[in-house]
Amino acid sequence: MTSLDYTRQLVAFDSISLKSNVPVTDFVEQTLRRFDFETERLEYDDRNGVRKASVVGKKGKGTGGMAYFGHTDVVPADDWKFDEHGPFEPTEIDGRLYARGSCDMKGSVACALAAAEQVSADELNQPLYVVCTADEEIGYLGARQVADESRYFQEMVAHGTKGVIGEPTLLEVVYAHKGVCGLVATSHGRAAHSSTREGVNANLAMIPYLAEMKAIFDETEADAAWQNEEFDPPTIRWNIGINDHTRAVNITPPQSVCTVYFRPMPGTDVDALINRAQKKAEECGLDFEVRINGKPLYIEPDAPFVAECLDLAGREQAKTVSYGTDGAMLGALQNLLVCGPGSIAQAHTHDEWIELEQLQEGTELYLRMIRRWCCA
C-alpha cells in the first residue's frame, strides 16, 4: 500500500491523548508483523487510568542499522473547522489530506510503514527498527518508557543505530530542538463567603511566588547567559500560567495554581531554575512539583550523520526548531535527528492537513535511508 493508504487508515483512529491509543497501536503492530517485523509492546495506565501502548518493531539481523521514531497520539479536535467531514474522516481536497493527525504525525508514520513494506528481511544486512509511542503530545510518556524498558532500544544505543524522528520538518534535516520543563506550584486555602472571616485566600501566598516567576522571566529574556542564538526565538520562553479555579467573585479562593512551562536549550542550567522556583515555593508554603523535564536534542551540525542525512534528503544545511519531540527522552542515542514530511505550521490546527506530495517524498526519503543504512 502507499503512504496515502496508510495515512487514511491511521487518522481514522480517534487517538487524542485523553483516550486510549491501544486500537491504533494494535493496527501498527499488526502491520509491522505482516512485514516480518518482530515486535515488542510496552503499556502503562496514565494518571487518569487510561491504558496506553507503544510498539517497537525490528526486522533483520545484525547490529546498527536504522530506527524510525513516531507517535500515534494526537491533540484534541474540538474546534474542527469542517462541518461536512469530521476530524477523523480523512478527506482529500486540492492535493491535501485533511484530518487530525495527518501532519502531526500519522502521515509520517505512514511513510515509514510504506517504506518498510518495500524492503524484505532478506535484503537487510543491518536491522530496521520502527518505533511508535504513546502520549508524545502530553509529555513524551511513551518514549520515556521505551528508553527505560525496551530491550530493542538498548540494542540501538549499544550498537550505534542511526535514529530519525519523523516529526514534520518539510523533510528538512533538524539537528537540534529545545527541551521541555514543566513546574506546578499549588497554594492551599479555605473556601468561604468573602463577606466573612472564615475563608483563607490561597492567592495571597501565591502572589510573592508569582513575583519571583516574573523576575525569572525578565532575567531569561534579557540576559544573554540564558540564550542561544542557534534557535529562533533564542530564549527559553518562561511561560507563566495562573488559575485559582474559583467559580464566583464572592468566594474566597481555596486553591491557587501556578504553572511554568519553559523550553531549555543546550547549555541551559535547568537545575538552577528549578531549584530557584522550588526554594521560593517552599518560602511561600506552596506545594511544588516538577511535572516534566525533557532534555534538548542536539547533535553537532557538522557531524558525519548529519552530512549523510543532508545528502539523502538533498539539502544543503541542517537547521534547528523550537518545538520538542520524543527526542527529549531518547538522548542515549548518539546519532539522532528530526526529519519528517509535513509542516509544523499545519500541526494542531483546526484544519490540519498534509500535502500528498510530502507523503510521497517522505516515503522515498525513508526508503533511501533504509537502503543506505540497512542494506549496504
Which secondary-structure segment (H or E) carries 125? none
d(CA 39, CA 29): 7
The one-letter code for the residue type at 97 is L
Domain ranges, ordered by start, for the chain: 3-177+296-374, 180-294
The yes or no reply on domain 180-294 and CATH 3.30.365.10 is no
| 262 contacts 181 by C-beta, under 8 angstroms | yes
Task: Please state the φ and ψ torsions of residue 185, each to the nearest 5 degrees.
Answer: -115, 135
d(CA 189, CA 128): 55
pLDDT at 165: 98
> Cα angle at 293 between 290 and 297, to 5 degrees?
170
Q: 128-168 pLDDT, tens per residue?
A: 999 999 999 999 999 999 999 999 999 999 999 999 999 99
- What CATH number should be reported for the domain whose range is 3-177+296-374? 3.40.630.10
The one-letter code for the residue type at 231 is F
Q: 191-201 pLDDT, tens per residue?
A: 999 999 999 99
pLDDT above 90 coverage of the chain, percent = 99
Q: 8-46 pLDDT, tens per residue?
A: 999 999 999 999 999 999 999 999 999 999 999 999 999
The one-letter code for the residue type at 149 is E
Q: Per-residue pLDDT for 376 more than 90?
A: no
From residue 206, how far is each of 198, 219, 238 by CA, in Å?
Answer: 19, 20, 17
| Cell numbers that stand for 337 in this block | 535527528
